[in-house]
Structure 1
Amino acid sequence: MESLNALIQGMGLMHLGTGQAIMLLVSLLLLWLAIAKKFEPLLLLPIGFGGLLSNIPEAGMALTALESLLAHHDAGQLAVIAAKLNCAPDVHAIKEALALALPSVQNQMENLAVDMGYTPGVLALFYKVAIGSGVAPLVIFMGVGAMTDFGPLLANPRTLLLGAAAQFGIFATVLGALTLNYFGLISFTLPQAAAIGIIGGADGPTAIYLS
C-alpha cells in the first residue's frame, strides 16, 4: 500500500497546478486548430507543442538551473543564494533581488545553481541558443522569404498598399500602450510600448526579435 501511495505521489498529475492545467488545455486547442482546422499551422503548431512541453508537471523543461533551484525550495541552498544577493532567504525575495540585479550577477547565480547540481531544461537551453542569441528570428525571416510567392504582387503592384496598411497597426498599438500609461491604467515605458507595437503589425518574426 505504501508503494502504491508513493507511486501516486510521484506522478506528475499530483503536482499539476491550475495555471499549468489551463495552459495545457490552451496548447491542445492550438494544436487542434493547427492540425484539424489547418489554421496557421506554421505558427500555432510549434506554439502549441512548446506550450505542452513547458507545462508538463515536475518536468522543468522550460526552467533554467537557477529557476529549478528556486522551485526545489531547499532551505540551505536558498540561504546561499540569498547571502550572495543580500536578501531574505525566501523564493519571493530572491526573485525580486534577481530582477533588480545586473546581468553579470544573474549569470553568477545561474553558474552557482549549476555548481549545486541543477541543470537547465532543454527548452531553456533552446531559448538561450536560438531566441536569446537572435538566431531563430533570422532563420524565420529566411524561411518566410523563401516560401513567399511574389508573383501576384508583381502582376498587380497595387496590392502593395494592403501590406503597407497592415503596418499602421504598429503605430496604433504604440499609441494605445502609451495612452494606457498616460491615464495610469497600465504602466508601460516607451521601449516596452514599442515592443508591444511591433505585435500590432503583420510581421511575426520582427515581433519575436524585438520583444
Structure 2
Amino acid sequence: MNILNEFLQSIQGIFQTSGFFLNDWRNYIMIGIACVLMYLAIKKQFEPLLLLPIAFGMLLVNLFPAIMVPPQTTMQLVSDYMTAHGGAAGNYPIVLLNGQQYYQVTQVGGLFYYLYQGVKLGIYPPLIFLGIGAMTDFGPLISNPKSFLLGAAAQLGIFTTFIGAVFLGFSGKQAGSIGIIGGADGPTAIFVTSKLAPELLGPIAVAAYSYMALVPIIQPPIMKALTTKKERGIVMEQLRPVSKLEKILFPIIVTVVVSLLLPDACPLIGMLMLGNLFRESGVVGRISNTAQNELMNIITIFLGVTVGATATGSVFLSLQTIEIIILGLLAFSFGTAGGVLFGKLMCWTSHGKVNPLIGSAGVSAVPMAARVAQKVGQEENPGNFLLMHAMGPNVAGVIGSAVAAGVLISILG
C-alpha cells in the first residue's frame, strides 16, 4: 500500500509541476512565441547560434516550469517521517527545534536553475568576452581610429533610454540596466543587470539577446530612412595594413587605460583583450582555439537556454516586462540612429569619403551589425565592400558598451 501511495504521489507531483497544471494561458502564448523564434532561427537563419537555444529554453520552461525551480528545503518531524515510511530512517540532517527532532529535507532544483547561476553571478559574460576577443580582428579599428567615434556615437541609445526609463518610474539602477540593452551586447547587459537590478535579469537578458539576433530585421529600415541612395553607395578607400606589433600592443594598452579610468569595466574589457592577445600573440594557439570554439560554444549553449528559460508566461507577459521590451527596442533603435547620424557627419566633413552605413555597426553586435552594413551597402552598389570598414565601429562598439557599463556601475552601483 505504501508503495502504491508513493507511486500515486509521484504521478501527481509530475502533473502538478507541468505547464498544463498551472493552467496559465500566458504559458501557451509563450510557447507560440518560442515556435516563431525557432522558425526565424532555422528558416530565416536570424543568428541561429543565439536565437535557437533562447527559443528552445523558452519552450521548455513553459512546458515544464519545474526545470527552473530552485532547491527547496522543508522540515519534517522525525516521528512523522518514520510513520509514513514504515519505520525507515531518513538519510537527512536532523535539526532540534522546540525540543523535537526534524529532518531537514532538501529537494534538488531544476537543471536550468543551476546552469542559470552562471548568468546570475555574472560568470558567463566575461567568458563570452574572452571568446569574442579571440575571434575578433582589431585591425580595422587600429587602422582607422576614427571608428572609435562611431562606436561612441552608437551608445546614444543607452543614455537616452536611461532617461526614458526613469521618466516611466523605474529606479536609477533599473533604468541603467534597461538602457544598456541599447548597446546590443547581451553579455554586457547581463553583467550590468546582475550588479544593478538582478530582479530584472530575466526580461533584460531575453530582450538584449533577442534584439541582437534580430539585427537583420531592425537595423535596415533605420539605416535607409536616415541615409540617401547616394550616401549608401559610397565606396570607401582600402584600409592601411596593420603591423603585428600594433595588434599585440593594442589589447595591452586598452586594458591598462580602461582599467585605470573605470575599474568596474575591467572584468569585461580585461577578458575581451586577453582573448585578443591570445589570438594576436601567436604563441598560444591551442588556448586561442579553445576560447574561440569549445569554450565559446559551451557558454553560448548554457547562456542561451537559461536566458530563454527565464521567459515564463507569468513573468514575461507583464506590464513591466512589456515596458522593458519596448524600451529595449527604442534603445537599440536610437543606438543605430546615433551611429548612422554621426556617420553622416563624418561623411560631410570628409567630403564624401565615409559611408554613413558603417556607423550602424557601432552598436556592438559583432559581427552581425557589420554584415548588415555590408548587405545594405551592396544593395545600392554591388561592387561596394563595407565589411572591413564596418568592423572598425563594430569592435569599437564592443569596447564602448563595456565602458558604458563601467560608467553606469560606477555611478549607480
Q: Report the TM range for the smaller structure's normalisation.
A: 0.5 to 0.7
Structure 2 residue 126 is matched with structure 1 residue 138: yes
| Contact 1:64–1:119 (8 Å) recurs in 2 | yes
Quote the RMSD (CA, aligned, Å): 3.2
| Contact 1:28–1:52 (8 Å) recurs in 2 | yes
Residue 161 of structure 1 corresponds to: 149
Deviation at 1:173, TM superposition (A): 1.0
Structure 2 residue 67 is matched with structure 1 residue 61: yes
Note closer, same or farther for the CA distance 1:167–1:14 as it changes in structure 2 (3 Å cut).
closer
Give the secondary-structure state (helix, strand or coil) at the position aligned to 1:44. helix
Structure-2-length-normalised TM-score: 0.34
Structure 2 residue 116 is matched with structure 1 residue 127: yes
Structure 1: state its 5+ residue gaps. Answer: 1-5, 70-76, 79-113, 182-187
The one-letter amino acid paired with 1:47 is I
Q: Which has the larger radius of gyration?
A: 2
Structure 2: state its 5+ residue gaps. Answer: 1-10, 76-102, 194-413
Deviation at 1:136, TM superposition (A): 0.7
Deviation at 1:146, TM superposition (A): 1.9
More relative contact order, 1 or 2 (CA 8 Å, 6+ apart): 2
Whole-angstrom CA distance in 1 between matches of 2:190 and 2:184? 12
| Contact 1:172–1:200 (8 Å) recurs in 2 | no
Whole-angstrom CA distance in 2 between matches of 1:132 and 1:38? 28
The one-letter amino acid paired with 1:144 is I
Residue 150 of structure 1 corresponds to: 138
Whole-angstrom CA distance in 1 between matches of 2:125 and 2:155? 19
Percentage of pairs with the same residue:
45
Whole-angstrom CA distance in 2 between matches of 1:118 and 1:61? 13
Give the secondary-structure state (helix, strand or coil) at the position aligned to 1:116. strand
The one-letter amino acid paired with 1:33 is L
Residue 57 of structure 2 corresponds to: 50
| Contact 2:19–2:62 (8 Å) recurs in 1 | no
Give the secondary-structure state (helix, strand or coil) at the position aligned to 2:68. coil
Whole-angstrom CA distance in 2 between matches of 1:39 and 1:54? 22
Note closer, same or farther for the CA distance 1:155–1:210 as it changes in structure 2 (3 Å cut).
same
Of 23, 39, 44 in structure 2, the residue corresponding to residue 37 of structure 1 is 44
Residue 82 of structure 2 corresponds to: none
Question: After TM superposition, what 4+ stretches of structure 1 lie above 6 angstroms from structure 2?
Answer: none
Give the secondary-structure state (helix, strand or coil) at the position aligned to 1:61. helix
The one-letter amino acid paired with 2:162 is V
Deviation at 1:14, TM superposition (A): 4.2
Whole-angstrom CA distance in 2 between matches of 1:35 and 1:161? 36
Deviation at 1:13, TM superposition (A): 6.8
Residue 116 of structure 1 corresponds to: 105
The one-letter amino acid paired with 1:132 is K
Of 161, 165, 190 in structure 2, the residue corresponding to residue 177 of structure 1 is 165
Q: Give the paired residue count.
A: 155
| Contact 2:42–2:48 (8 Å) recurs in 1 | yes
| Contact 2:19–2:27 (8 Å) recurs in 1 | no
